[in-house]
Amino acid sequence: MGFVVEHECPQCGAPVDLEETHRILRCPYCEVKNLLFARDMFRFVLPYTAPGKDILYAPYMRFKGVAYLCKDIAISHRIVDITRLGTPFTVLPMSLGFRPQTLKMRFITPHDTSSFLASSVTGEDILNVVGQHTSAFVSTRFVYRAYVGEVFSIIYLPIFVEKNMLYDAVTHECIAFLPDGQVHLDSAVADNPRWQISFIATMCPNCGWDLDGERDSVVLTCGNCNSAWEASNGRLIPVTCKTVIGGNDNTIYLPFWKINATSYQGLEFGTYADYIRTTNQPRVIQQEWEHMEMSFWVPAFKIRPRIFLHLSKHMTLAQQDFETKEKIPTVSAYPVTLPLSEAIQSMKVTLADSIMNKRTCFPLLPQVDLTIGEATLLYIPFHETGYEIIQEQMCVSVNKKALEFGRLL
């Protein structure tokens, strides 16, 4: 479950509520939009009032994402959402329970006067914890594991020491008895990380127009010069974008990353024909497929893992030769909520899912080293019906409720 963060609008100072998945701060007062950016990972603190106390911030590492495991003849998946203590002081609670979901957090700032306990846990450590967590649900050894759509962050729990007792500064409840008082924690105090949330103005780098995007969008578009942009290392970089021709009044354009890739290790393929042969599809290979580039088609939006895999496999195997135009849809375009970097991490799982002879080919997965080529963001028209939206040429449909739920992942 996600949580809410309160932050001041950098333009007018008004308080704005953001959800954990939001990447755009849109101020309801001055209507200015800003893209949020963190130089490493987002850092939050739980709200507290403890006047006159020397506050210490205890770090908790948070991971949210989907884990895919390939084993035997199947792929298992699980939505992971864990927050774990990130210091060796095990007198502190191992988890924060439901508090992040029930309290409104804030970002830490370089001006926080509290002391910070050093984080002994790295991103890799937390992935190991996630690994233990996720491998517990498979009975046999797995051959390959991937994490997709992952978000790492740190949540700080404010604590203080009084008369040899350690207190939680949020609830003012006693957590533990410390025989040597504050000294017990002093050795673990680290420098203030001087961390600060950064903002990128949502202005088109090409023409200066205000960019369009929903609050959870990771790709912003310009309706003036027809360009698309993704944040990378604190700046906006261009995204190649195309739209499949064929929409009408009832159309929703779903975004997909179309990513060229080849593999010359483990399982080999250089063209679409090779991919069909390598994955042993029961299809007659057409002459022209021998010269067709191989592309993976990955949903550019978060959705339940079962549907994500289904769409990815179906569209990758079909390699539909759509007629496209350069124009980005200005209305009814579903927001891009999965960045290209995360889509790339899912490609080996799609390859695994495409394989017909899983028992023989799965052990080769760890050796597969994909060479990534060009990537295009492709908006594909889906027509609305009652509960679903349907892509007629590809014969695939997506449940509308599943799309709604995906916004919360």
| Paired tokens of 189 | 């105090």
User: Angle at Cα 63 formed by Cα 102 and Cα 339, nearest 5°?
Assistant: 110
The CA distance from 255 to 199, in Å, is: 25
Nearest to Zn ion of 94, 225 (CB atom): 225
Nearest to Zn ion of 204, 389 (CB atom): 204
Nearest to Zn ion of 31, 404 (CB atom): 31
Nearest to 381 by CA among 186, 242, 278: 242
Nearest distance, CB of residue 203 and Zn ion, angstroms? 9
Nearest distance, CB of residue 31 and Zn ion, angstroms? 7
Nearest distance, CB of residue 219 and Zn ion, angstroms? 14
Rg (C-alpha) for the chain, rounded Å, is: 24
Alpha helices by DSSP H, 46-177: 99-102, 123-135
Nearest to Zn ion of 29, 98 (CB atom): 29
The CA distance from 113 to 376, in Å, is: 46
Give me the DSSP letters along 239-281: E-EEEES---TTEEEEEEEEEEEEEEESEEESBHHHHHHHTT-
Give me the DSSP letters along 53-78: ---EEEEEEEEEEEEEEEETTEEEEE
Nearest to Zn ion of 29, 264 (CB atom): 29
Nearest to Zn ion of 329, 406 (CB atom): 329
| Paired tokens of 310 | 């289904």
Q: Are 68 and 349 in contact (CB under 8 A)?
A: yes
- In terms of Cβ atoms closer than 10 Å to its own Cβ (0-12, 13-18, 19+), residue 76 is middle
Nearest distance, CB of residue 80 and Zn ion, angstroms? 35
Q: Give the count of beta carbons closer than 10 Å to the beta carbon of residue 230.
A: 18
Name all contacts of 51-54 with Cβ < 8 Å and 24+ positions apart: 53/160, 53/162, 53/169, 54/114, 54/115, 54/160, 54/161, 54/182
Nearest distance, CB of residue 13 and Zn ion, angstroms? 7
Q: Give the count of beta carbons closer than 10 Å to the beta carbon of residue 364.
A: 17
Nearest to Zn ion of 261, 336 (CB atom): 336
Nearest distance, CB of residue 25 and Zn ion, angstroms? 9
Nearest distance, CB of residue 399 and Zn ion, angstroms? 34
Nearest distance, CB of residue 229 and Zn ion, angstroms? 9
Nearest to Zn ion of 4, 32 (CB atom): 32
User: Which residues are near Zn ion by CB under 5 A?
Assistant: 9, 11-12, 14, 27, 29-30, 204, 206-207, 209, 222, 224-225
